[in-house]
Amino acid sequence: MFLRQFKYLVAVVEEEHFGRAATRCHVTQPSLSSGIKQLELELGVPIFLRGRGQRFHGLTAEGEHIAKWARLIISHCDAMRDEIKAMQKDLHGSLRMGAMPSMSPVLPVLLQKVREHHPGVRVDVHFIGNEAMKLGLDNFTLDCAITYLEKADLGRRNYLPVYTERMSLLVPDTNEFEGLTQITWKEAAELPLAMLRPSMHERRFVDAAFKKAGCEVVPKVESESILHLMFQVQFTELCTVIPSHFTRMPGLHPGTKALTLVEPEVSQEVGLFWAEGETVMPMANVMVAIAKEFEKTGDLRRLLGEEERKRGKKPAGSGAAKATAPRDYASS
């Protein structure tokens, strides 16, 4: 058995076409088919269901297990090369990370550390849900993932806490909200709201908070983009629930202000996940080391205002200057 045969196998599974897999592996289609046939002969079992042409007809039961092992073997070979490069202070390659969309403003702080410590590493971020993260960690197409600790359904994984996410209500900076720094969930439910779609984890968390306050809301606008919802608040009469760190990163838009949501006060922990095992893969270890550094220094939590909350101070960003231009309600 040769490593290239496993790469042929994985390419066919991912491309679902023998011709495209051959192109991806930079070989002819007959060479790819011959390599896979030799692998089947050595293992003594068929890997693919047979059919006409170059179409992919699926894997046999044995083939499913072989494909999983093939990914593991390829991943460990790549990790071996990465580890040797790391020993030589020359780590190169791609760090593949899964993340929830609400974490996008925080990631630049983490990824800046990656560039500082490992300038040869390229980071590939995938904003996906927990199911896709689980699949990516299982089949070694992701090195690590950042998601919520409490509800993460990623199977048996190693993890580290990264920060705590709390919620704020983003409102128009008008006379209606002048002088306010906080608002109850019950009061928020009475306002016209723009919210994330019900299928998204963040929306389900917010719905649970409203339910805990004895409320049920029907939003005027729904979207998969928190940034779009923030624009709705900036240019219309709508309000929206945002992670409190959005008040700092990326920061509030002119003409908006953030109110701390209370009664109940809710939060959820965000953590870094990677594959379980005694040996941490080199690319995953890059993020693990950075997460440990931030947890030790507390710099990220301070940047997100967690220390100010503990001391009972008003977090920066909980109010914003009024817009210099008139509000455009017609754009709604």
pLDDT digits (tens, 9 = 90+) for 259-294: 999 999 999 999 999 877 656 678 888 999 999 999
Q: What is the pLDDT of residue 330?
A: 31
Q: Look up the CATH superfamily of 91-162+269-310.
A: Periplasmic binding protein-like II (3.40.190.10)
Q: What is the pLDDT of residue 51?
A: 65
Alpha helices by DSSP H, 127-278: 130-138, 185-189, 201-212, 226-235
Is 1.20.1250.20 the CATH number for 3-83? no
Q: How far apart are CA 148 and CA 6, in angstroms?
A: 34
For 81, residues 6+ apart whose C-beta sits below 8 A from its C-beta are 93
Q: What is the pLDDT of residue 71?
A: 85
Assign 274 to helix, strand or coil. strand
Q: What is the pLDDT of residue 283?
A: 86
Q: What is the pLDDT of residue 110?
A: 94
Whether 3-83 and 164-267+314-331 share one fold: the answer is no
Q: Where are the domains of the chain?
A: 3-83, 91-162+269-310, 164-267+314-331
Q: What is the pLDDT of residue 89?
A: 65
Q: What is the pLDDT of residue 193?
A: 98
The CATH number given to 164-267+314-331 is 3.40.190.290
- Residue 147: how many other CB atoms lie within 10 Å: 26
Q: How far apart are CA 147 and CA 309, in angstroms?
A: 22
pTM of the model: 0.67
For the chain, list residues with pLDDT below 70.
Answer: 51-55, 83-90, 151-156, 277-280, 307-332
Task: Tell me the β-bridge partners of 55.
Answer: 17
Q: How far apart are CA 13 and CA 68, in angstroms?
A: 11
